[in-house]
């Protein structure tokens, strides 16, 4: 081998010992190396596209948020529809006709408003027995309602028949749409300035619910002539000379309608 190397050296060829076997690759080795590098690149790309634990968590969170957003949207739509239906229902209630209690329901005919007391708009206690032998129309009123202009008709009705034994009594209540928010002094001034109201007004009371005034328990209780909660502002009750309910009118019924005039005339003639 030394002689061969010496011979190669004489020819200017590098001896075999200068070529490291580690630095020399065969075509097969080059192909294998290329394939290995390609595999590593593919694996790297695959790993970057495959959801790991963090990626899976992000995907779940996005899915969760999407579901929550969809649920909230459904709830909002349902609430809007429910509110619209409730509002429509309230409007329809103001036009309904009231019916007497069924004949099979035993009524407590001894109940009369003449047995009750109530505070007037100035805080003075008044007894309904003062209205014996008078026909009375009781109305739950409010200053900021669409029916508030009915004050004008109520005033006309009161003035037309008061000398014949008829009285309108307004009962302020804030239970419907918060449309009677003022204090008693403010309510009194509003009615006088805007509608020249001269008929009696009571203090502000509740007509439905656990704090219902006894007056409205007599008017709307289970054993009343026309039972059922008050639906809105300006429901009207025509009370006879004996202190008992003759008829109940929906809020939409105008105080000077032919129906009301006819009923008042009839009650006064009895």
- Answer whether residue 6 is part of any domain: yes
State the chain's mean pLDDT as an integer. Answer: 78
Start-end of H helices in 102-199 = 150-161, 184-195
22 DSSP β-pair partners: none
Tokens (6 digits) for 143: 């200053």
Residues 162 and 246 in one domain: yes
- For residue 257, the enclosing domain spans 113-269
- Answer whether residue 252 is part of any domain: yes
Tokens (6 digits) for 32: 């294998």
Q: Which helix (H) or strand (E) holds 261?
A: helix 258-269
Residue 191 a catalytic site member: no
Of 26, 49, 72, at which residue does a domain stop? 49
**Count of C-beta atoms within a 10 Å radius of residue 234:** 27
Q: Which helix (H) or strand (E) holds 66?
A: helix 53-93
Dihedral of CA atoms 170, 172, 175, 177 in degrees, nearest 10, equals 90
Over residues 243-259, the mean pLDDT reads 98
Residues 118 and 217 in one domain: yes
Q: How far is CA 160 from the centre of its chain?
A: 41
Judge contact between 154 and 255, C-beta under 8 A: yes
Residues 43 and 130 in one domain: no
Judge contact between 220 and 226, C-beta under 8 A: yes
- Answer whether residue 192 is part of any domain: yes
Q: Tell whether the model's pLDDT for residue 141 goes beyond 50.
A: yes
Residues 44 and 151 in one domain: no
- Answer whether residue 95 is part of any domain: no
3-state secondary structure of 139: strand
What is the pLDDT at residue 19? 41
- Answer whether residue 59 is part of any domain: no
Q: Tell whether the model's pLDDT for residue 263 goes beyond 50.
A: yes
Judge contact between 204 and 105, C-beta under 8 A: no
- Answer whether residue 72 is part of any domain: no
**How is the beta sheet containing 236-239 ordered, strand by strand?**
166-172, 135-141, 236-239, 245-249
- Answer whether residue 205 is part of any domain: yes
- Answer whether residue 135 is part of any domain: yes
Share of the chain above pLDDT 70, in %: 59
Over residues 258-269, the mean pLDDT reads 98
Share of the chain above pLDDT 90, in %: 59
Q: Which of 101, 145, 261, 268 is catalytic?
A: 145
Q: How far is CA 9 from the centre of its chain?
A: 105
Q: Tell whether the model's pLDDT for residue 150 goes beyond 60.
A: yes
What is the pLDDT at residue 248? 98
User: What CATH number does the domain containing 216 carry?
Assistant: 3.40.30.10
Residues 122 and 236 in one domain: yes
Judge contact between 139 and 176, C-beta under 8 A: no
Q: Could you report the per-residue pLDDT of 74-117, keeping only the tens digit for each?
A: 545 545 454 444 444 444 455 666 666 554 444 455 589 999 99
Residues 175 and 41 in one domain: no
3-state secondary structure of 215: helix
CA–CA dist 4, 140 (Å, integer):
128
Q: Give how many domains the chain has, as a whole number.
A: 2
CA angle 201, 203, 205 (to 5 degrees): 115
169 DSSP β-pair partners: 138
Cα dihedral sign, 134-140-144-149 = negative
Q: Longest C-alpha distance within the chain, in Å? A: 154
117 DSSP β-pair partners: 127
Q: Tell whether the model's pLDDT for residue 60 goes beyond 60.
A: no
Over residues 232-258, the mean pLDDT reads 98
Question: Which of 199, 224, 200 lies closest to 212, judged by CA?
Answer: 224
Judge contact between 237 and 245, C-beta under 8 A: yes
Residues 156 and 265 in one domain: yes
């Amino acid at each position: 081998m030394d002689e061969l190397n010496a011979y190669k050296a004489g020819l200017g060829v590098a001896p075999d010992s200068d070529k490291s076997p580690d630095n020399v690759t065969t075509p097969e080795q080059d192909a294998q190396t290329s394939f290995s590098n390609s595999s590593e690149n593919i694996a790297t790309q695959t790993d970057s596209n495959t959801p790991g634990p963090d990626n899976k968590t992000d995907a779940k969170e996005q899915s969760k948020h999407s579901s929550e957003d969809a649920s909230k949207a459904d709830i909002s739509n349902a609430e809007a529809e429910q509110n619209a239906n409730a509002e429509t229902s309230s409007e329809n209630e103001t036009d309904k006709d009231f019916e007497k209690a069924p004949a099979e329901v035993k009524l407590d005919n001894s109940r009369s408003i003449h047995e009750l007391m109530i505070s007037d708009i100035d805080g003075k206690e008044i007894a309904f027995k003062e209205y014996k032998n008078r026909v009375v129309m009781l109305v739950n009123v409010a200053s900021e309602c669409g029916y508030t202009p009915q004050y004008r008709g109520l005033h006309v009705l009161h003035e037309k028949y008061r000398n014949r034994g008829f009285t309108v009594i307004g009962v302020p209540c804030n239970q419907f749409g918060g449309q009677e928010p003022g204090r008693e002094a403010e309510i009194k001034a509003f009615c006088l300035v805007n509608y020249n109201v001269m008929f009696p007004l009571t203090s502000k009371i509740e007509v439905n619910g656990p704090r219902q005034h006894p007056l409205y328990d007599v008017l709307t209780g289970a054993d009343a002539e026309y039972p059922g909660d008050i639906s809105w502002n300006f429901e009207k009750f025509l009370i006879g000379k004996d202190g008992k309910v003759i008829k109940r009118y929906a809020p939409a019924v105008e105080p000077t309608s032919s129906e009301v005039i006819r009923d008042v005339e009839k009650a006064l003639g009895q």
